[in-house]
Amino acid sequence: MERRRRWSRSYRETDPPTLGIINLCRFEQSFRKNEAEARTWERALPAAASVELIHNFSLVHDDIQDGSELRRGRLTAWKKWGMPQAINAGDALFILAHLALMETKDSFSLEKALLAGSIINDACLALCSGQFLDIFYEKKNDLVEEDYWPMVSGKTSALLSASIQVGASLGDVTRRPRQIILVMVIISV
């Protein structure tokens, strides 16, 4: 319960992947009959925090792999504390993300919590694949447009897509609208 309070205090300062979950659950609340049922978005904060933590884990590791010394005008973790500690920090963020995601079972059915976990894990695998291609492509000079799309679909866009899918699942959006939302995300990327 204490973790949930920490998530709710800071949700207004989140990046777009997190907002996907919160906004879809807020959209769903307009169809609820009473205030208690309409607070789904608050119950989804652990899932939103999970997406945010995964996003940050991926950025910490990306900065190391790219040799980036600055992110958003500040020293990157590896530049400030060294590579070993930055890798450790990134790994810790990944574990914290999964611990936060496990909290969804306290507010949603086990089936929904498992589906959210599956969606997030698929996105993490896509992130790794996109990062692999990004690194691999750095040494290639003969890339074509068809090479580009699999790489970018496995970067932050995979996490944006996952946040929307998790939000739709937790917010009780039916399967067909979830597929339409996913197509809209793919088109926008």
pLDDT in tens, 96-108: 999 999 999 999 9
Both tokens assigned to 147: 């090479």
Q: Domain extents for the chain?
A: 2-188
Length of the chain counted residue by residue: 189
- What fold is seen in the domain 2-188? Farnesyl Diphosphate Synthase (1.10.600)
pLDDT per position as a tens digit, 33-79: 555 555 667 888 899 899 999 999 999 999 999 999 999 899 999 99
> CB-hemisphere CA count at 13 Å for 158?
23
pLDDT per position as a tens digit, 89-145: 999 999 999 999 999 999 999 999 999 999 999 999 999 999 999 999 999 999 999
162 Cβ contact list (under 8 Å, min separation 6): 17, 51, 119, 120, 122, 123
- CA gyration radius for the chain? 17
